[in-house]
Amino acid sequence: MRGMPESPATPTPYEVLGMSASASQDELRRAYRRLLRETHPDTGGSAERFQAVQHAWERVGDPARRAAYDRGSSSGTGSDFDADSPGYSQGTDAAAGARPAGTSSSGHSRPRGSSSPRARTYGHPGGHARERFLALMQEWSGRGSDLDDPYDPALVRSAPLEIRRLLAKALAEEATARSVTALGIGYTLWSAVATDDPGYVIDHIVLGPAGLFALRSEDWGASVRLVKGEVAGEGLALDDPIKTLVRAAKRLARSLGVRFTGYGIVVPDEALDASMETVDRGRNAGAALVGRSLLPLVLRTGAGATVDIADVFEVRTRLQNGLRLV
């Protein structure tokens, strides 16, 4: 795995060392030395875990660096996550067909200060995860509505992993939406699409000249890979991401009378050793695990058969009339 940048879902140094944030410096040192022995590749450990232990110690092994980390400072340790992402537009109407903030009356999203039309966008990428993050953060902190800054780096780092993963999820969805929006007027993006699978939401549906795609955006804060056609990795909090995405998308497609060209799990580039891994056989054929920077190329070139331009308008109409956004 390449060096992972700071992410809300990245295990904290204390989590890597298996210690509480209130542990003494001597307790941290003993845990560090024990884990060095256990994770060293020469004694049967993994190089990735060994490096993670060393990196954790670099951040909190020295009292001054530990104090800086606990304050939320990232000096000398890499940049903080972008919690207040510009991709998050408050007040977007999630109803199907509603015009999101920052778009023209025709549905074309336009960057500030630019007259160049961008992709049509509907829905609120990352909104559901943001709402859950805020609710759980307020509940966990015990401060309710008086919580001044729920995105304060020090506060976020001290929160349980399941809460931090919600923020990472929101940021990932927003980043994917920005990438798709930049593809131009020939594309349409629907975000946070309800499905017939109870509780399951498709993060993004993208329609363009190369086809129709169902996408799921994730950031597990760790490296991932394909194993037997499914996503695998230490950071996974959910089981069978590809299987559940493909199943839900196919059911939705049957109900709307359309057909998906491909399915993608979109992750940060640093989470993959290769830019993209594909499922070539079996029930989930046509699915891919793809790095975020490669996504625009995948959506431009397609993943096999493309739809005729005449069909694009018919498919868009069916989707616009039939999709339910959350």
The answer as to whether 81 is a domain residue is no
Sign of CA dihedral 236, 242, 243, 249: positive
Q: Are residues 65 and 132 in the same domain?
A: no
How far lies 284's CA from each of 108, 114, 121, 264, 279, in Å? 33, 40, 27, 11, 7
Name the residue range of residue 26's domain.
13-71
Q: 154 φ, ψ to 5°?
A: -65, -40
Q: Are residues 176 and 307 in the same domain?
A: yes
The answer as to whether 2 is a domain residue is no
The answer as to whether 226 is a domain residue is yes
The answer as to whether 131 is a domain residue is yes
Q: Are residues 57 and 130 in the same domain?
A: no
Q: What CATH number should be reported for the domain holding residue 34?
A: 1.10.287.110
263: β partners? 214, 287
| Other beta carbons less than 10 A from residue 323's beta carbon | 20
* CA 106/CA 117 separation, integer angstroms: 10
Counting the structural domains of the chain, the total is: 2
* CA 308/CA 210 separation, integer angstroms: 8
The answer as to whether 78 is a domain residue is no
The answer as to whether 202 is a domain residue is yes
Q: Are residues 140 and 66 in the same domain?
A: no
Q: Are residues 45 and 148 in the same domain?
A: no
Q: Are residues 61 and 131 in the same domain?
A: no
Q: Are residues 23 and 142 in the same domain?
A: no
Nearest to 323 by CA among 256, 258, 250, 249: 256
The answer as to whether 133 is a domain residue is yes
Q: Are residues 63 and 125 in the same domain?
A: no
Note down pLDDT in tens along the chain; length 326 residues.
444 457 898 889 999 999 999 999 999 999 999 999 999 998 888 888 899 899 999 999 999 999 998 887 654 333 344 444 433 333 333 333 333 333 333 344 444 445 568 999 999 999 999 999 999 999 998 865 567 889 988 889 899 999 999 999 999 999 999 999 999 999 999 999 999 888 899 999 999 999 999 999 999 998 999 999 999 987 676 679 999 999 999 999 999 999 999 999 999 999 998 899 999 888 898 899 999 999 999 999 885 555 555 588 899 999 999 999 99
SS3 letters for 76-88?
Answer: CCCCCCCCCCCCC
Rounded to the nearest 10 degrees, the angle between the axes of helix 63-71 and helix 47-60 is 90
